[in-house]
Amino acid sequence: MAKQKIIYGFHAVASRLRRHPATVHELYVDETRQDSRMRDFLALAQAAGARPRQVAGQRLNGLAGTSRHQGVVAQVDEVDLRVDLDDLVVEAGADLLLLVLDGVQDPHNLGACLRVADAMGAHAVLAPRDRAVPLSPTVAKVASGAAETVPYVMVTNLARTLRDLKDHAVWVVGADDQAADDLFTASFQRPMAWVLGAEGSGLRRLTRETCDQLVRIPMFGSVESLNVSVAAGICLYESRRRSEPRAGSAAP
């Protein structure tokens, strides 16, 4: 029997209804919300075969464990996104694009990283088991459905995992604000894995030393650092921009 969990928020629950409607066992909505967003959501739920139960906001707070549920809570089966990393590397081949998070322990940051990883077509997000936040309802809400599509792989030893990736010819690039090379002029190889640390602390020493290459994101304003999810989006986008042919360009 599949393990069940609670998810909440319009994006997270709507994504589940679209992708895996059979896994939604109970759906609860705020009985006081009558706005257009709720009406659209209820139409989606009806089309997916779900029967929402209208309940008081206090009950939704108790189910979600927070008041930030937007009036939508669901009890669902966990979707198994577990992957074998070696198999994933082999199957993706030269197209492989990974996001590796070193020391990111805020659930909002993880959710946002999963979201940009999904948007940029990353095959998985990796993190060390002892320095990372697990998937949670908060992560799923911020991820806006990406927690249902992007495998989140927690590894025992990050440096060893990076070395294993390198043994598979994966080019490991770390984002470091002290690096000599900058993102827009550095040369990259594919398949590749981007490694980012938490804002402020950055990459750990051993993680930094394990990377094949370090690059910095050029900063043109007054701020000195970026949130990890923003930095991840920039790095992944630049990788994708270089690998995708421009619209209207001739095929090589």
User: Residues 121-127: what's their mean pLDDT?
Assistant: 95
pLDDT score of 190: 84
Q: Domain residues of the chain, as ranges?
A: 4-77, 85-243
Topology, domain 85-243:
Alpha/beta knot (3.40.1280)
Tell me what the pLDDT averaged over the chain comes to. Answer: 90
pLDDT score of 149: 87
Q: Residue 137: pLDDT above 50?
A: yes
Whole-number Å distance between alpha carbons of 129 and 147 = 17
Residues contacting residue 243 through CB under 8 Å, at least 6 positions apart: 95, 190
Topology, domain 4-77:
60s Ribosomal Protein L30; Chain: A; (3.30.1330)
pTM above 0.85, yes or no: no
User: Residues 128-148: what's their mean pLDDT?
Assistant: 88
Query: Between vectors from CA 21 to CA 113 and to CA 98, what angle results, nearest 5°?
Result: 25
DSSP string covering 26-78, please?
EEEEETT--SHHHHHHHHHHHHTT---EEE-HHHHHHHHTSS-STTEEEEEEP
Q: Which of 243, 216, 244 is nearest to 231 (CA)?
A: 216
Give the model's confidence band at 1: pLDDT under 50 very low, under 70 low, under 90 confident, else very high: low
Whole-number Å distance between alpha carbons of 76 and 49 = 14
User: Residues 52-80: what's their mean pLDDT?
Assistant: 91
Same fold for the domain at 4-77 and the one at 85-243? no
Cα dihedral across residues 246, 243, 234, 179: positive or negative: negative
* Cβ proximity of 242 and 182 under 8 Å: no
